[in-house]
Structure 1
Amino acid sequence: MSITKTIETLFQKYIPSPFVIAILLTILTMVLALVLLYTENPSETSHHITILKFWEEGIWNNNLLVFAYQMMLILVLGHVLVLSKPMSWVIDQITFYAKDTISAVLLISITTMLVAFFNWGLGLIFGAIMARKVGEASLRRGFKINYPLVGASGYIGLMIWHGGMSGSAPLKVAEEGHITTMMEGIVSPETLATIPEIITSQQTIFSWWNLLIFGILLIVIPFTFYLLARNGKTTELPDFTTTKEVTETQEKNDKLDHSKLLAIGFGFILLSTFFIQYYGKSLSPNMLNFLMLGLGVILHGNFKNFLKAIEKAIGGTSGILIQFPLYFGIMGIMKGTGMVTMISDAFIAVATETTLPIFTFFSAGLVNIFVPSGGGQWAIQGPIVIESALSLGVPLPKAIMALAYGDQVTNMLQPFWALPLLGITKLKAKEILPYTLILMVVGSAVYILGLLVL
């Protein structure tokens, strides 16, 4: 497949690391903001100071830092769950049927999308571990695979997550009063009175048309992977060996660390609290982390194994730890200078009732390249989407999901969320991006047709 080879060559030669991409995006955003501010007020001489002020405020935004920690916990605890013996057994049973690239990408893509529809963090780590296990099985059992393509299939869950049960925008609008609070001061009191208090998940995530789009993707995406794998290309595998751990002697003072009774008992306390506190409430990052913490302690059987899994899992968040503040800084610049509004308004100015969801889709995809955070993007772009939908008579659930679709599809181009997968699989961003780019085009076609037809 010559197109794939051409894209792969270009990415391998010219795509830098995700951290360097974040730096370059920061500089680009500063330059664009400087031009925007100068155009609006040429007589002002302190534009650069204003931009740096917006940047610093974004980097250390308290709410965003809390969000970053929640996202890191989702990744760490999801990884910890997958490292437990019961979950490893499940993954081993699935990967047992992988005998070549075709069977591997079909198994991984389908199961990863199903898990990611439930939760994006768990789906990301699940797909990464699946890809890693297939690579290890390839070495152990002696069959050849296209390992970057297998890795790409483990990342595909990030293209469907925002339309699933952990989607930031549909979950936020399901909170009572969220929309009206967000739109206060933006629309007139008369218009504000017509806005619903909540938009339920039955109108967005579990609507028949969203589930139908997801069902179509469950067929189209694996078929695309099948076509990509059919050319028979194979690649060298990375070195999966790790340093052997020193066997520890169980001393009297760490018997509690190895106690199954204590770990399982504490795990059940966590789960009991979880059900008491969160039963009947909408899914949230805190709710998910509490559940995974309790399950992680129980599934690992003792605190020693649990802490070892934490130590192993936390390395996958190193890139996110240092890059999240940079993206928050970009977010601060774009919000403070009005760049998000400018980008979105450029699409909305030429939109109609029919085309607004399409323009929202593209604008969300563009903004996601600069701000790879579904929750952060909703906070910035959400008011624009709601106001435009009200003005043009577009159903709010459709406009909200159009933003969700656009946000998630360009994750296949933006390597930020691939960092944990890259750490687990020992792949590089430029190795999987040629394939995820093709999947982005295919997924975009499905989403656009869905928004136009359904």
Structure 2
Amino acid sequence: MFKVLTRASVRLVERYLPDPFIFVLLLTVVAGTAAVVGEKNSPIQVIRMWGNGFWSLLTFAMQMLLVLLTGHMLANTPIVKRWLAALARLARSAGAAIVLVTVVSLVASWINWGFGLVVGALFAKQLASQVRVDYRLLVASAYSGFLVWHGGLASSIALTIATPGHFSANKIGVISTSETIFSVFNIAIVLALFVAVPLINRLMLPSEKESVYVNPAQLETEETEHDDTSNRPADRLENSKLISWLLGAAGLAYMFDYFVVRSGSLNLNVINFSFLFLALILHGTPRRILRSLDAAIKGGAGIVIQFPFYAGIMAIMIESGLATSLSEWFVSFSTPTTLPFWSFLSAGLVNIFVPSGGGQWAVQSPVVISAAQALGADIPRVAMAVAWGDSWTNMLQPFWALPVLAIAGLKAKDIMGFCLIQLFVSGILISIGLTWL
């Protein structure tokens, strides 16, 4: 029965889910229409909101592009290839490969979402080169680990409200991560997903007849090329190990200062910095890392073109009042017990249009905080409900899958059918944890 449901979900998504670029264009139309009809904004007002916000995610778009590029470059170094290959050898069957890539992705995503996206995708490619397994499900399993990021160490909402002077501090004060990330209910949700997500992925494994395999030779992202032995000064510089090692040593010194001396935490900039300078050292020469960059950058087109459209949608949702209205409607019929559940659902819906944890909390926090205070509900639990809602519908919204898909060389329709099953199962588990634990 489970395989029948999976087969139906995969076929439904393959048939009806458009390319992520078409998806974001349709979301733009839906958000704009809703802002005019539901919030009584004039068409020109909505167009202005959209246009003014169109370029507001340029910094973030560059960060995400660098997640893809630096991850590719690091993975293409000889030593990392050997490490991934050694870890992949632990999987002796298709089922073991599915479980292993899911667990690795869950752990990495719990540590940091950017780290999880890159590691999961790269490990999936390595497994596919060594184990005969349905490549679509393998990559979907790598992406499914992303479910837990907002319940982990890099949870933007939990870290925001734990920071002195945050924008809601005058209403709720500073809430320690012991009440959010490390609370009993949140740890229980994370543990439940660590068990359920690999199990569900394993149960979705198609039969031999229905599986889609990939030729391991097609997974190579970098052509074999010998270094130029010309004696031109320019060629000697490009092949200089001294330059790579000097700059790499400077990068390692900064990382030591950041993590050890200053006790810094993981964030997207630090991950990109670490990946880049480790790749510079491990590739050995500037020419090799540039060759790796040429191979990696081919998959970044989707990120470059789609992020501005999502920035425009976010601007419409926030400035028109549409996101606030959606949140207010969900909490209007809540009780102290059910408020986390309805906040979770509302956050899941808003996340489809505003796929940004920090941005979503800025939109929804005034509504859910006021409701929690009026009802006497548990504010840390409600905050984590918004966080989990933001993570949850990433199994439906292909925005965050873009780096994974670019690394793996697949389309959204190839994996989202499997992710849809995870959406329903994880939604039940998270709802139980938020409401009754």
TM-score (normalizing by structure 2): 0.90
Q: Map 1:337-356 to 2 at 5 A.
A: 337-356=320-339
Q: Match for 2:377 among 389, 394, 409?
A: 394
CA distance in 2: counterparts of 1:161 and 1:334, whole angstroms: 24
Report the equivalent of 2:52: 57
1:133 is paired with a residue of what secondary structure?
Answer: helix
Report the equivalent of 1:258: 239
- Give yes or no for contact 1:102–1:230 (8 Å, CA) kept in 2: no
CA distance in 1: counterparts of 2:371 and 2:229, whole angstroms: 64
Q: Match for 1:204 among 172, 175, 180?
A: 180
CA distance in 1: counterparts of 2:4 and 2:154, whole angstroms: 37
Q: Structure 1 pair 283/439, CA: closer, same or farther in 2 (3 Å)? A: same
Post-superposition CA distance 1:241-291 (Å, at most 9, x none): 368454341344333433334323322322322443562344433333333
CA distance in 2: counterparts of 1:173 and 1:74, whole angstroms: 26
Q: Match for 1:164 among 132, 152, 158?
A: 152
Shift of residue 8 of structure 1? 1.8
Post-superposition CA distance 1:125-163 (Å, at most 9, x none): 22112222222224xxxx4x2221112111112211122
Unaligned runs of 5+ in 1: 41-46, 182-191
Give, as a single letter, the amino acid of the residue that structure 1 aligns with 2:172. I
Q: Choose 95-104 or 356-365, whichever is displaced more.
A: 95-104
Give, as a single letter, the amino acid of the residue that structure 2 aligns with 1:161. W
Post-superposition CA distance 1:24-43 (Å, at most 9, x none): 110111111111243x7xxx
Give, as a single letter, the amino acid of the residue that structure 1 aligns with 2:67. I
Q: Structure 1 pair 316/161, CA: closer, same or farther in 2 (3 Å)? A: farther
Shift of residue 238 of structure 1? 4.1
Post-superposition CA distance 1:222-251 (Å, at most 9, x none): 111222227555424345436845434134
CA distance in 2: counterparts of 1:308 and 1:250, whole angstroms: 16
1:280 is paired with a residue of what secondary structure?
Answer: coil
CA distance in 1: counterparts of 2:367 and 2:75, whole angstroms: 39
Q: Structure 1 pair 283/124, CA: closer, same or farther in 2 (3 Å)? A: closer
Report the equivalent of 1:403: 386
Shift of residue 319 of structure 1? 0.8
- Give yes or no for contact 2:105–2:146 (8 Å, CA) kept in 1: no
Report the equivalent of 1:16: 18
Q: Structure 1 pair 281/424, CA: closer, same or farther in 2 (3 Å)? A: closer
Give, as a single letter, the amino acid of the residue that structure 1 aligns with 2:87. I
- 2:270 is the alignment partner of 1:284: no
- 2:279 is the alignment partner of 1:296: yes
Unaligned runs of 5+ in 2: none
CA distance in 2: counterparts of 1:441 and 1:412, whole angstroms: 9
Q: Structure 1 pair 21/224, CA: closer, same or farther in 2 (3 Å)? A: same
CA distance in 2: counterparts of 1:208 and 1:312, whole angstroms: 45
CA distance in 2: counterparts of 1:383 and 1:310, whole angstroms: 43
Q: Structure 1 pair 98/282, CA: closer, same or farther in 2 (3 Å)? A: closer
Q: Choose 154-163 or 332-341, whichever is displaced more.
A: 154-163
- 2:392 is the alignment partner of 1:413: no
Give, as a single letter, the amino acid of the residue that structure 1 aligns with 2:236. K
CA distance in 2: counterparts of 1:396 and 1:268, whole angstroms: 46
TM-score (normalizing by structure 1): 0.87
- Give yes or no for contact 1:120–1:157 (8 Å, CA) kept in 2: no
Number of residues paired by the alignment? 428
Shift of residue 451 of structure 1? 0.9
- Give yes or no for contact 1:260–1:301 (8 Å, CA) kept in 2: yes
- Give yes or no for contact 2:78–2:282 (8 Å, CA) kept in 1: yes
Percent identity, aligned pairs only?
A: 38
Post-superposition CA distance 1:172-217 (Å, at most 9, x none): 2233211347xxxxxxxxxx3x531x33334322334323322221
Shift of residue 411 of structure 1? 0.8
Post-superposition CA distance 1:9-62 (Å, at most 9, x none): 222222110000000110111111111243x7xxxxxx111010010111122x
Give, as a single letter, the amino acid of the residue that structure 1 aligns with 2:310. Y
CA distance in 2: counterparts of 1:162 and 1:315, whole angstroms: 29
- Give yes or no for contact 1:171–1:283 (8 Å, CA) kept in 2: no
- 2:176 is the alignment partner of 1:175: no
Report the equivalent of 2:7: 5
